[in-house]
Amino acid sequence: MSEERYAVVGGGLAGLMAVIKLAESGKNVDVFSIVPVKRSHSVCAQGGINGAVNTKGEGDSPDIHMYDTLRGGDFLAEQPPVRGMCHAAPGIIYLLDRMGVPFSRTSEGLLDFRRFGGTLFNRTAFAGATTGQQLLYALDEQVRRYEAEGRVRKFEYWEYLGFIQDDEGACRGVVAMDLKTMEIQSFPAEAVCMATGGPGIVFGRSTNSIINTGAAASSCYQQGAWYGNPEMIQIHPTAIPGEDKLRLMSESLRGEGGRVWVPSDGRAGLPPKGQPWYFLEERYPKYKNLVPRDVGSREIFDVVRNMGLGVDGQDAVYLDLTHLSAEVHKKVEGVLDIYEKFMGQDPRKVPMKIYPAMHYSMGGLWVDYEANARHDILPDSPRQQATNIPGLYAAGEVDYQYHGSNRLGANSLISCIYAGRVVGPAMIAYAKSRPEKRAAAALPSTVAEGATARWRERFEQIRAMSGAENPYRLGRELGDLMSERCLIVKENSKLEDGLKKLDVISDRWKSCNVLDTGRTMNQAASFVNALWGMIELGKAIMKGSLLRDESRGAHFKPAFALPKPKTHKPTDDPEWMAKWKERNDKWLRTTLAKHTPSGPEISFEPIRSLAVEKPILAPEPRYYE
């Protein structure tokens, strides 16, 4: 058995797939998870996983999947990794099927597929309404086999604090804390993969699990890792409110025929007063209720806030499934049961009240890729999924690579699994390329001990915090500020003011009271530390939003939005096309955030795959009929 040891932080789909690829190559792996891996946030993905298998004979293909993905993200994503993901997707779905995922099937016994937003094809494989859970359990079963062999060690209820950094700036392992004993240890590794998910709790209430603080990614960012496209935050069109979080009503509900509407007030151009107005179907007759998430969210916002047609005067529209058959209700009963449990109404009999909510981050840690002249991703290249910090990798929602400015529904699970599959061999290739003195076994003990000592000192300082500020209340204020300024509609004056308020919140953090000085199971001390990371990440999101003076995908600034074209198809309006080209010439770039003590340093870097002589797909106007 190899003496090499690797570290994977995060036990969701991306992390577990990375563990599998490392372990099947005979490597030893330590996997760190803040919760038991079966409770990782991937379990919450309900609707399905994309792959152009084309069992329904619609003419779908991996290239069309790639086109929908690049166009859906308004061409902000690097193209070769997206191509690699889309071409690998059918094989990954069949691999998961062989692993025992109980995918839903047609009456002929074939894998069933449903439609999701941003496409006209039935491309989404699903396991009822619990797809993420079934995929996560299947991968965990594979990992358990290697765990039983002694090749994988799980550190559940351990929190990542930072990476071990040597005198050349390379990552040489991780520093983590046992949340039960609050013991802090260093773990040398040949390479480290971050697979810690998104920063949902930076926005307070979101559809994310409460573990998704973004603090691990922020820690890497504060240690020098670049953060790409921080302002690209996805809003999901359909969620229900809760005191603790916003609960997602899966896109599968619309994929199975659910309809979005509001009661008409009878104004000119609308149905008679009191009748349903199916505004998405009217405005987008081809895509109807399955327009991409950014488009759907803005339309709901327009109808509710600008037109004043929210249901019962609330921030709500109807998502109606009452017309669907009992057979369809059975396919999505997991989601319907969630609504009935938390809202006290049966959505099989009455329409659901829903509204957009923060859901996902297209931005994340910047990662590299390597492709050949045909744009094929090179297997075993140490650059795949590599951050700018040597030895530090990222995969899953924590990286920025696959979605551009908007994520298509059901692309999240395939991007996580694909990135995990790519990153394992890349980490091994990196270890092979280094001189032997850079191996984990050769790490001077003083380097690891120094990293441990710095974090122990940090937590001693946190335990001594006795100011007047309640950290949980301050975290709620941070979330309210971020949700108000950085979601569906963005305005520069509010973003400028928001940055000033974030500076005030930073100063107030220094006056926090730790609330609990205990040395075991001290959740308050852990949260105080995470809150600082959330604030620093919030500054990158806010400043990126301020400085990107355009509208693209989930980043919507009305003051800089292109006007509506004069013709049905934008390509038939030369004046509009000239403005679109001018926008792209200036803004078709990656936002790159670099941490400094005085705040994020923002630059806009060329998208490498568009700068080559012939990209896979030339950018074109993004519109949906």
Catalytic residue among 151, 259, 293, 407: 293
Token couple for 27:
């490597």
Residues 6+ positions from 590 with CB-CB distance below 8 Å: 76, 228, 229, 366, 400, 604, 605, 606, 607
Strands 233-240, 247-248: pairing is antiparallel
Return the H-helix or E-strand segment holding 28.
Answer: strand 28-33
E strand residue ranges, 304-431: 317-320, 352-361, 364-365, 392-394
C-alpha to C-alpha distance for 121 and 60, rounded to whole angstroms: 7
C-alpha to C-alpha distance for 355 and 235, rounded to whole angstroms: 10
Helix boundaries (H) for 40-104? 62-72, 79-98
Taking Cα atoms as reference points, which of 113, 127, 132, 126 lies closest to residue 52? 113
Token couple for 286:
């081809």
Expressed in percent and rounded to 5, the helix, strand and coil fractions of the chain are: 40, 20, 40
C-alpha to C-alpha distance for 304 and 237, rounded to whole angstroms: 12
Tell me, yes or no, if 463 is annotated catalytic.
no
C-alpha to C-alpha distance for 302 and 283, rounded to whole angstroms: 12
Taking Cα atoms as reference points, which of 270, 13, 30 lies closest to residue 146? 30
Residue in the block written with tokens 């079963």: 141
What does the radius of gyration of the chain's CA atoms come to, in whole angstroms? 24
Active site residues: 293
